[in-house]
Structure 1
Amino acid sequence: MEFKDKVVLITGAAGGIGLAAAKKYAEQGAKLSLVDLSQESLEKAAGEIDAEKLLLGADVTKEEEVENYVRQTKERFGRIDVFINNAGINGDFKNIVDQTVENLDKVFSVNVVGAFLGLKHVLKVMIDQKSGSVVNTASNGGLLGAPGMSLYVASKHALLGINKSAALEVADYGIRVNAVAPSGVDTAMMRSIETNAAKGHEEEARKGFEASVPMNRYATAEEIADLMLFLSSDRASFITGSYYRIDGGQGATSV
């Protein structure tokens, strides 16, 4: 029960990696504050999680709603020990010459602005208590390029830059900030990516994505959540400002 009575705040908690992480922290005895855009989806997804929990619908791109989810978490539990800064979208895939400013704004508002706002307000709580651990959900797209995915890739590069800067800003307060950088994960987001890449030929797209991974498969959400638990635990007490690839060996194929 490594996280017994620890307070864990997770955004994007209604599915995929966020929900998998919530279940694993609950198994470790944590108290959960779970945030997602849809309160209804969140209540449905989290219904079977056996833990003391607070469920909060919020748009992570709006500062007043971010302030509210942080405030309600602090009022309910008194502190925030772990922040899984996980909410994100992939947006529409198009080559740069065909992309729109509207899609750029949409992707960056969630993946960059939303992550930034979460850090801004959660770190205030952690600075006051002089402790805490943050895990940002980045992507191997934050380390590589990908045709048609320039906006998503750029947003995850930006998030890794914020991750490093945040870690340096709060190191003196005993707060650690790290990121996970997965390759494809077998979640609803990956289904959307497959459709974006080859609408009507999703199975072929999946086979192609999996073939690009030396282990010839997607990661599971639970595998990503396990890394999050490690990075937010006392076993990672001297790790901060880092990102960790979890990509089935994909990163080993590049320089």
Structure 2
Amino acid sequence: MGRLKDKVAVVTGGASGFGEGMARRFAEEGAQVVVADLNAKGAERVAGEIGNGAIWTRSDVSQRSALEEMKDAALKAFGRIDIMVNNAGFTHRNGDMLEVDEETFDLITAVNMKAIYHAALAVVPVMEKQGGGVILTTASTAGLRPRPGLTWYNASKGWAITATKSMAVELAPKNIRVNCLCPVAGETGMLARFMGEDTPEMRAKFHASIPLGRLSTPLDIANAALWLASDEAAFITGVALEVDGGRCI
């Protein structure tokens, strides 16, 4: 306990799935947490269940103003931001890349890509003034070993991985570490979209592609995020950590 004592963490997409797992795990290890999500009721629920040391914000990460408001809420409540987790994500349904409409494509790029830019504009000056910090993005194995049927999602996660590495190099002199997680498909609200349909047969197909034989869980991702966010990983920056049961081997 206490691996994030005196740290303040902001987690987007914190109302469910991987984000909820990270928010809860960070709080268990002593962090004060901002649970940010477009789903205000879900964010309020998670923050309420965490209790003291957690607040929530309704945040549409595709909008620059929302990220600024999220930053301001964190600073007003806790006075600093040590850890910024870009976890909110969106995908199209598994299928023909030519059948993804432009509105869906634009939303994927706004949430999976542009939100990282918005977050950097908001928190990097704060972290630099403090003397350092951690930026962590939930990317995907899709950005490393793309599956057919998720072309535009795959591309957005490849972008996130490259952005992570470039940001890490540029921000290292400011003592800001930048890493990303690459989970394999997990038990989250987007699973059915990833698979195309959520059936026992489709799950079996996905399980068969993962050497450890199961999907990822929010706790798997949260534990990996905890390490990267903690001082135990003080010399780790620019990595795309595979949390995938061997999928990318």
Give the alignment's TM-score, normalised by structure 2.
0.95
Q: Aligned residue for 1:129?
A: 130
Q: Aligned residue for 2:245?
A: 248
Deviation at 1:90, TM superposition (A): 1.5
Q: Aligned residue for 1:105?
A: 106
Which is further off, 71-80 or 132-141?
A: 71-80
Q: Aligned residue for 2:141?
A: 140
Q: Secondary structure at the match of 2:49?
A: coil
For each residue in 1:64-103, what CA deviation from the matched residue of structure 2 results, as whole angstroms up to 9, or x when unmatched? 1111111121122111011111010122333223232222
Deviation at 1:232, TM superposition (A): 0.9
In 2, Cα distance between equivalents of 1:46 and 1:207: 34
For each residue in 1:50-70, what CA deviation from the matched residue of structure 2 results, as whole angstroms up to 9, or x when unmatched? 331121001100111111111
Q: Secondary structure at the match of 1:9?
A: strand
Q: Secondary structure at the match of 1:47?
A: helix
In 2, Cα distance between equivalents of 1:174 and 1:5: 18
Q: Aligned residue for 2:205?
A: 208
Q: Secondary structure at the match of 1:244?
A: strand
Q: Aligned residue for 2:234?
A: 237
RMSD over aligned CA atoms reads 1.3
For structure 1, the residue ranges without an aligned partner over 5 or more in a row are none
Find out whether 1:18 has 2:15 as its counterpart.
no
Which is further off, 95-104 or 156-165?
A: 95-104
Q: Aligned residue for 2:222?
A: 225
- For the 8 Å contact 1:140–1:182, the answer to whether it is kept is yes
- For the 8 Å contact 2:168–2:176, the answer to whether it is kept is yes
- For the 8 Å contact 1:11–1:36, the answer to whether it is kept is yes
Which is further off, 44-53 or 209-218?
A: 44-53
In 2, Cα distance between equivalents of 1:112 and 1:240: 19
Question: Between Structure 1 and Structure 2, how many residues are aligned?
Answer: 248
In 2, Cα distance between equivalents of 1:244 and 1:5: 25
Q: State the 4+ residue runs in structure 1 displaced beyond 6 angstroms.
A: none
In 2, Cα distance between equivalents of 1:26 and 1:228: 13
- For the 8 Å contact 1:8–1:81, the answer to whether it is kept is yes
Structure 1 segment 88-103 matched on structure 2, within 5 A: 88-103=89-104
Q: Secondary structure at the match of 2:26?
A: helix
Q: Aligned residue for 1:28?
A: 29
In 1, Cα distance between equivalents of 2:54 and 2:98: 45
Deviation at 1:151, TM superposition (A): 0.9
AA at the equivalent of 1:3: L
In 2, Cα distance between equivalents of 1:166 and 1:127: 14
For structure 2, the residue ranges without an aligned partner over 5 or more in a row are none
Q: Secondary structure at the match of 2:179?
A: strand
